[in-house]
Copies of this chain bind each other. A is one copy, B any other.
Amino acid sequence: MELYVERGFDETTVAEIAKRAGLTERTFFRHFTDKREVLFAGAAKLQDLFVEAVGEAVPDLPPVDAAIAGVVAAGALIQERRDFARQRYQIIAANAELQERELIKLAALSAALAGALRRRGVPDHAASLAAEVAIAVFRVAFERWVTDPVRLDLPQLMRESLDELRTVTADRGTG
């Protein structure tokens, strides 16, 4: 990770990463399929956490609030690894190919979230919309948290972003 920040993602070889981590290349490839996986290996865990939290939310919670329960659970986990999250963000922001991969992961996350909502009995389109709203909250709150020099509380920012989204979405908005 430090190497990606120092040299740029494209300029860093697996041999260098393995050396810095005190691993052989063979051991590296036992843990990661390629060097991008160092950045994206956590995505599956994050998705499981999302889906689980949505499934466990109080039964009569409105769809978006159920989806946000997943977002907030993910936020708490990400917050524990602030240095990793900040480095990862910098690396991805500097590389178009990684940004594409990040978009794909977020689209997959949105689809998984919509699936979890459907299993709660939320109708098809409502589930897709609520999931997209939750991912929008996730992205905007995360971006704010990761770029702010002050150590803000990510789950709290997520809840605030949802409130803000409700304000901009309201039929008689304040804008």
Q: Which residues of chain A have a CB within 8 Å of any CB of chain B?
A: 61-66, 99-100, 103-104, 107, 120-122, 125-126, 128-130, 132-133, 135-137, 139-140, 143-144, 161, 164-175
* Identical copies in the complex: 2
Which of B63, B100, B167, B175 lies in contact with A168, CB distance below 8 A?
A: B63
Residues of B within 8 A of A164 (CB): 125-126, 129
- Selected from B128, B130, B170, the residue in CB contact (under 8 A) with A62 is B170
Q: How far is the CA of A165 from the CA of B164 in the complex (A)?
A: 15
Asked whether, in the complex, the Cβ of A168 is within 8 Å of the Cβ of B62, the reply is: yes
Which chain B positions have C-beta within 8 A of A126? 164, 167-168, 175
B139 near A132 (CB under 8 angstroms)?
A: yes
